[in-house]
Amino acid sequence: MTYRNFLSLSDAGADGIAAMLADAIDRKRARAGQPKGAVDADAPLAGRTLAMVFEKNSTRTRVSFEMAIRQLGGSAVVLDAATSQLGRGETVADTARVLSGYCDAIMVRTDDHAKLLEMAQYATVPVINGLTDDSHPCQIMADLQTILESGKALPGLKVAWLGDGNNVLASIVEAAGLMHFDVVAACPQSFALPEEAMAMGKGRARTVNDPVEAVAGADVVVTDTWISMGQAHADVKLAALAPYQVTEALMAQASPDAKFLHCLPAHRGEEVTDAVIDGPQSLIWPEAENRLHAQKAVLRWCFGQIG
């Protein structure tokens, strides 16, 4: 079987991403109003099964992928570390070989990015990155879809990131380099994204310390939890990030038509106030829903049906 892995946005490149976004927007529109569990008329992945391996918690990624493969005509199997043999030390490589015998694709959510790469190395079916400590490309596909649906174009867009230099920021920066938009990340020095990850922005991403400098004139303002999964709750980190909270006052410095995005789950009152996340500029609910639509396109791309 010819297949493609979606381990990073660069695996798809600008053309692949553009094709997936167009497909996601079209298919979402085409099935509007149907029951969520109804299979798309063309059932393009009929008979295909997706294995989902979770070594970290998830609400959106788990449910949106399960519904995505269902709407495409296929089905999903979920494994988590605690109840599978992975949790008892079976290797990722052996798991990859076994799952490839049962399923047509594997989605992995794990901590160490090297485990995702190992899964892809030993699997003989497409492997999809459902989040690692280094990146979260599926999330950014949904974010880009949400931005396009808000009427904004990607080239020349100005995105402001506030807070922790984490896996979600890393994928936004990668997207900026591929899709030609600009990212200004306001992060405390000690929690900035490493230079190597910023370099994925190919000159379109920079880090500043001042939150106001980052949001000035921004078209999109994005933040995420200050403590990611697997990180210890550290008072020192929360204190360093406090000045980076997205407030109405900060949003007022952005473009008047600026949109607010957050991958969720949110820690209301930490990285963002209720007034912003529930306010008129917030697109968090369409953003969350678009995980479903964007991942349908990712699945189809992995099987060579688009791009």
Residue 263 annotated as catalytic: yes
Does the annotation flag 148 for ligand binding?
A: no
Cβ atoms 179, 186 nearer than 8 A: no
Report CA-CA distances (Å) from 140 to 40, 49, 169, 184, 241: 24, 24, 9, 16, 23
Among positions 137-196, residues that touch ligand NVA (CB under 6 A) are 166-168
| 166 touches ligand CP (CB under 6 A) | no
Shortest distance in whole angstroms from residue 97 CB to ligand CP? 26
d(CA 169, CA 221): 12
> Binding residues for ligand NVA, how many (CB under 6 A)?
9
Taking the C-alpha atoms of residue 294 and residue 20, their distance in angstroms, rounded to an integer, is 7
Cβ atoms 258, 281 nearer than 8 A = yes
Of the pair 100, 145, the CB lying nearest ligand NVA is at 145
Binding of residue 23 to ligand NVA (CB under 6 A): no
Exactly one of 71, 225, 281, 290 binds ligand NVA (CB under 6 A); which one?
225
The one segment of 54-62, 85-93, 145-153, 205-213 that binds ligand CP by CB under 6 A: 54-62
Q: Is residue 58 part of an annotated ligand binding site?
A: yes
Residue 60 assigned ligand-binding role: yes
Reply yes or no on whether 224 is catalytic: yes
**Residue 4 catalytic?**
no
Question: Does 224 count as an annotated binding residue?
Answer: yes
59 binds, among ligand CP, ligand NVA, none (CB under 5 to 8 A by kind): ligand CP
Question: Closer CB to ligand CP, residue 61 or residue 245?
Answer: 61
Is 27 catalytic? The answer is: no
- Binding residues for carbamoyl phosphate are 58-61, 85, 109, 136-139, 263-264, 291
* Catalytic residue list: 109, 136, 139, 224, 263, 291
Return residues touching ligand CP (CB under 6 A): 58-61, 131, 139, 263-264
Return residues touching ligand NVA (CB under 6 A): 131, 166-168, 224-225, 228-229, 263
